[in-house]
């Protein structure tokens, strides 16, 4: 049995990771400020899964973070998942975005370093650290965009290029996590994640688009398509991301200090308009949606090459896009009353 500290453990990714660990008999400590919609419901749901410790605090406050690390005790692994996750929010409030993503990550790294412990540190970074990638040729085929020259997607060798406050704050955090491994010997692993979707995701218009489109369609709400809807992302179901965390942790002798692109990969792509068509078919009616301007730093295509993760710790996605979208759709339908309370 191992002991885990999960920052943002009441959020979408965090609560799914926590539930998996609790189910395996591990000890789990969650650090969260419970500020996002649905986190209180996720905590109540986690209580039905088993025992865990909840420490309420703010990642921006070093005393809160240091106190959480002390209270958690000698943990085997820290999963740093707490973040400000919306590009649009980062544009409207860049200071808050920086304080949470960059300063908050620095606070956690320092608290762990000063604790004297030696836990594995798993960090959720983002594909936004690669910027708009305007130099990469994109073509339109079949009503969607795709790379002309990268059939397997973008590898970790791609140069960093931050194109939004969110990209800057997460990029700074990404590099600090890497450097604390180089300079201080912390056993860190960075996941530059694509679009993650799945159960317990209370997506909103400016973040978590797959979940939000599904939620809005079930509730009969209109959605906004930023851009022309032909942009493509590789999608990764939450169960596969949880498995990636655990696989990278098991192979920490190989993965420590390393960076991995983690997403659905070339085999699990979908455009915004394709998801709308999928939902219209399931619902038997047209969805109400409008178009708006592209968001800053929004790539027409992002598909990551996940072959490095496959080579180095034996991971690859198991859930297809259609399987995952159907699972999330069914879960939202089953929990429609829950979403009506939130939205």
**Are the CB atoms for 125 and 194 separated by under 8 Å?**
no
Tokens 């710790």 found at: 313
pLDDT digit string, tens, across residues 188-226: 999 999 999 999 998 777 778 999 999 999 999 999 999
Q: Cα(46)–Cα(39) distance, rounded to whole angstroms?
A: 10
**pLDDT score recorded for residue 221:** 94
Domain holding 301, by residue range, is: 3-342
Q: What is the mean pLDDT of the chain?
A: 96
**Are the CB atoms for 38 and 109 separated by under 8 Å?**
no
β-partners of residue 207 are: 204
**pLDDT score recorded for residue 186:** 98
pLDDT digit string, tens, across residues 149-158: 999 999 999 9
**Are the CB atoms for 254 and 313 separated by under 8 Å?**
yes
Residues in the chain: 343
Where would I find the H helices in the chain?
A: 12-23, 39-47, 62-72, 87-92, 94-98, 104-115, 165-184, 209-219, 238-250, 252-255, 272-283, 307-313, 321-334, 336-342
Q: Cα(112)–Cα(122) distance, rounded to whole angstroms?
A: 12
Q: Cα(6)–Cα(170) distance, rounded to whole angstroms?
A: 18
β-partners of residue 54 are: 30
| Helix 165-184 × helix 104-115 angle, to 10° | 20
Query: SS3 helix, strand, coil % of the chain, rounded to 5?
Result: 45, 20, 35
Q: Cα(131)–Cα(163) distance, rounded to whole angstroms?
A: 5
pLDDT digit string, tens, across residues 255-298: 999 999 999 999 999 999 999 999 999 999 999 999 999 877 67
Q: How many domains, in total, are found in the chain?
A: 1
| Helix 12-23 × helix 238-250 angle, to 10° | 60
**pLDDT score recorded for residue 192:** 98
Which of the residues in the chain have pLDDT under 50?
none
By C-alpha distance, which of 70, 73, 27, 69 is closest to 51?
Answer: 27
By C-alpha distance, which of 102, 248, 96, 115 is closest to 175?
Answer: 102
pTM of the model: 0.96
Sign of CA dihedral 119, 125, 129, 135: positive
β-partners of residue 261 are: 192
Q: First and final CA of the chain: distance in angstroms?
A: 39
**pLDDT score recorded for residue 203:** 75
- Please return the burial class of 148, using the count of CB atoms within 10 Å of its CB with bins 0-12, 13-18 and 19+: exposed
Tokens 């990268």 found at: 150
Q: Cα(87)–Cα(206) distance, rounded to whole angstroms?
A: 7
- Residue 107: CATH number of its domain: 3.40.50.720
Active-site residues, by number, are: 166
């Amino acid at each position: 049995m191992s002991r885990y500290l999960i920052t943002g453990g009441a959020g979408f990714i965090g609560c799914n990771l926590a539930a998996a660990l609790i189910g395996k008999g591990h000890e789990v400590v969650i650090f969260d400020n419970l500020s996002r919609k649905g986190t209180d419901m996720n905590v109540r749901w986690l209580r039905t899964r088993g025992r865990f410790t909840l420490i309420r605090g703010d990642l921006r406050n070093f005393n809160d973070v240091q106190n959480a690390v002390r209270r958690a005790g000698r943990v085997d692994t820290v999963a740093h998942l707490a973040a400000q996750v919306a590009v649009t929010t980062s544009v409207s409030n860049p200071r808050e975005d920086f304080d949470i993503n960059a300063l908050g990550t620095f606070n956690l790294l320092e608290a762990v370093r000063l604790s004297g412990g030696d836990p594995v540190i798993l960090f959720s970074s983002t594909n936004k650290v690669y910027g708009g990638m305007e130099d990469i040729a994109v073509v339109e085929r079949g009503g969607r965009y795709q790379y002309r020259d990268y059939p397997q997607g973008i590898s970790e060798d791609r140069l960093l290029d931050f194109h939004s406050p969110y990209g800057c704050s997460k990029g700074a955090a990404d590099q600090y996590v890497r450097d604390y491994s180089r300079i201080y010997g912390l056993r860190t692993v960075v996941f530059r994640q694509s679009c993650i979707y799945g159960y317990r995701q209370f997506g909103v218009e400016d973040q978590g688009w797959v979940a939000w489109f599904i939620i809005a369609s079930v509730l009969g709400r209109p959605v906004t398509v930023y851009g022309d809807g032909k942009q493509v992302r590789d999608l990764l179901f939450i169960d596969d991301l949880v498995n990636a965390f655990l696989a990278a942790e098991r192979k920490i002798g190989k993965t420590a200090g390393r960076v991995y692109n983690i997403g659905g990969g070339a085999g699990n792509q979908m455009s915004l308009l394709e998801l709308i068509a999928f939902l219209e078919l399931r619902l038997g009616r047209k969805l109400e949606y409008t178009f708006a301007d592209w968001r800053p730093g929004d790539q027409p295509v992002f598909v990551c090459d996940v072959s490095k993760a496959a080579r180095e710790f034996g991971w690859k996605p198991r859930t297809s896009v259609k399987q995952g979208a159907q699972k999330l759709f069914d879960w939202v339908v089953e929990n429609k009353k829950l979403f009506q309370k939130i939205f």
